[in-house]
Structure 1
Amino acid sequence: MMNNLFSIFDPTTNFFNLSLNWMSMILGIIFFLPIFFWLVPSRIYYFYQKIIFTLHLEFKLLSNLNSFNGGTLLFISLFSLIFFNNILGLFPYIFTSTSHLIMSLTLALPFWLSFMIFGWLNNTNHMFIHLLPQNTPNLLMPFMVMIESISILIRPITLSVRLMANMIAGHLLITLMSKTGIKMSLLMVNFLILSQVLLLTLESAVAIIQAYVFSILSNLYSNEVN
């Protein structure tokens, strides 16, 4: 029996007093890493290689990385981590780590902090110029600097909250719909099952899109300070 609706996101367990639900983060490595060592590559391997190659070209185009070809590996790894955790969270009885702020903020804050430190130490003039858009009236200059400073400071929060909120919303909707099936007729239950299948398909697309958005925005933030 579920005490409240948000108990599905509770990461605590009573087994050996350990939060074993967080071990779901390594399931992606356990499931997908051996595929790369097969003698004959599978279709999943070719599909994932196609995704990596497409992301590499797009990240390279956004960052203008012509001299350092390995510069996109960081953002591809970030995409893979979020993507695997989002997809695995759609399976029953698997803990969705990306639905917690501690997980998403742990990913967003170090990236943003490293970009800021690099930018202010190496491109100080560029960072100051970035705080004030071109052709800004003299009267609005102090306000624009304040607004731009606030927008830069809240970037890790917006990144993490966006990922967390999108993952929570779909799971809550699926849970709410499943709890109403007990009191429905047979015809309505069939309609409910069809609706949940469509919603699960939508959640699969959201899981991919959110991983893509998180990695793309991180790449754009790094491009601003470089």
Structure 2
Amino acid sequence: MMNNLFSIFDPTTSEMYSLNWLSSLYILLFIPSLYWFIPSRYSFFFLNLLNYLISEFKMLLNLKSNLMNLLFLMSMFIFIMLNNFLGMFSYIFTSTAHLTFSLTLSLTLWFAFMLYGWIINTNHMFMHLVPEGTPSALMVFMVLIETISNLIRSGTLAVRLSANMIAGHLLMTLISSTGPSLSVFLLLMMLLSQTLLIVLELSVSIIQAYVFTVLSTLYSAETS
């Protein structure tokens, strides 16, 4: 019996220990199959996806010095995507649905980008605070707006990822909770809607990993 609707996201499995966060390490089960001598269909699909993303990120990382971030960005995309995807299975904890996970990741990235930008490219960072062509009367307000925009980036990254992962799970929980009181016809309709929601959630798990990585790439490009 659930105490509240959000108890499905409770990371605690026992008063003595919690194993749910180990789901973040499940991605290690997917990696060894990439190193077989004869590639599988899974390997071909995975490599084609990575090649497409690399070509996309190269356009965003306009400087050669930024291309060093490609390996890190691709690793982050795989990590988030597989954690989102594994959260669709029953009895597997969705770690990306918690701000503990997503906010830690986004804060680390934001702090690293800001530290690099303000130490290495100080003048460039000051130039970003006042966009070109800004009237003199609005410069003070633009500096304030751009500063606030920079400060909330980590929060928006984390909330966007967690909220989208929570929304689908909550909707499926709400729909399934009405199952025992439905007729046979309505029960079949509920199962059909649940199936469509699962397909939608699978798409969201990939899209949100892509959005998180693309925004991190854009933030990285702005600091150089």
Question: How many angstroms does 1:174 deviate by?
Answer: 0.4
Question: How many angstroms does 1:37 deviate by?
Answer: 2.8
Question: How many angstroms does 1:94 deviate by?
Answer: 0.4
Instruction: Find the aligned partners of 1:158 and 1:68 in 2 and give their Cα distance.
Output: 23
What letter corresponds to residue 135 of structure 1 in structure 2? Answer: G
Task: Please give the residue correspondences for 1:208-223 in structure 2 after superposition, counting only pairs within 5 Å.
Answer: 208-223=206-221
| Residue in 1 that maps onto 2:37 | 39
1:63 aligns with 2:61: yes
What letter corresponds to residue 148 of structure 2 in structure 1? Answer: I
| Residue in 2 that maps onto 1:23 | 22
For normalisation by structure 2, the TM-score amounts to 0.96
Task: Please give the residue correspondences for 1:1-226 in structure 2 after superposition, counting only pairs within 5 Å.
Answer: 1-14=1-14, 17-30=16-29, 32-66=30-64, 70-226=68-224
Q: Secondary structure at the match of 2:173?
A: helix
Question: How many angstroms does 1:67 deviate by?
Answer: 6.2
Residue-by-residue CA offset, 1:32-59 (whole Å, 9 max, x unaligned):
1120232322111110011111111111
Instruction: Find the aligned partners of 2:78 and 2:65 in 1 and give their Cα distance.
Output: 24
What letter corresponds to residue 181 of structure 1 in structure 2? Answer: G
Instruction: Find the aligned partners of 1:67 and 1:223 in 2 and give their Cα distance.
Output: 10
Question: How many angstroms does 1:71 deviate by?
Answer: 3.0
Q: Percent identity?
A: 55
RMSD: 1.3
Instruction: Find the aligned partners of 2:67 and 2:99 in 1 and give their Cα distance.
Output: 32
Aligned length: 224
Residue-by-residue CA offset, 1:138-171 (whole Å, 9 max, x unaligned):
2111111000000000000000000000000000
Q: Rate the CA distance shift 1:68–1:151 in 2: closer, same or farther, 3 A.
A: closer
Q: Secondary structure at the match of 1:79?
A: helix
What letter corresponds to residue 145 of structure 1 in structure 2? Answer: V
Q: Which moved more, 1:182-191 or 1:56-65?
A: 56-65
Q: Secondary structure at the match of 2:89?
A: coil
Instruction: Find the aligned partners of 2:63 and 2:146 in 1 and give their Cα distance.
Output: 26
Residue-by-residue CA offset, 1:95-118 (whole Å, 9 max, x unaligned):
000000010011111111111111
Question: How many angstroms does 1:70 deviate by?
Answer: 4.2
Question: How many angstroms does 1:68 deviate by?
Answer: 6.9
Task: List runs of 5+ in structure 2 lacking aligned partners.
Answer: none
Instruction: Find the aligned partners of 2:33 and 2:71 in 1 and give their Cα distance.
Output: 19
Asked if 2 retains the 8 angstrom alpha-carbon contact of 1:98 and 1:167, the reply is yes
Q: Secondary structure at the match of 1:175?
A: helix
Instruction: Find the aligned partners of 1:217 and 1:184 in 2 and give their Cα distance.
Output: 43
Asked if 2 retains the 8 angstrom alpha-carbon contact of 1:65 and 1:71, the reply is no
Asked if 1 retains the 8 angstrom alpha-carbon contact of 2:61 and 2:67, the reply is no
Asked if 1 retains the 8 angstrom alpha-carbon contact of 2:66 and 2:221, the reply is no
What letter corresponds to residue 20 of structure 1 in structure 2? Answer: L
Q: Rate the CA distance shift 1:68–1:129 in 2: closer, same or farther, 3 A.
A: closer
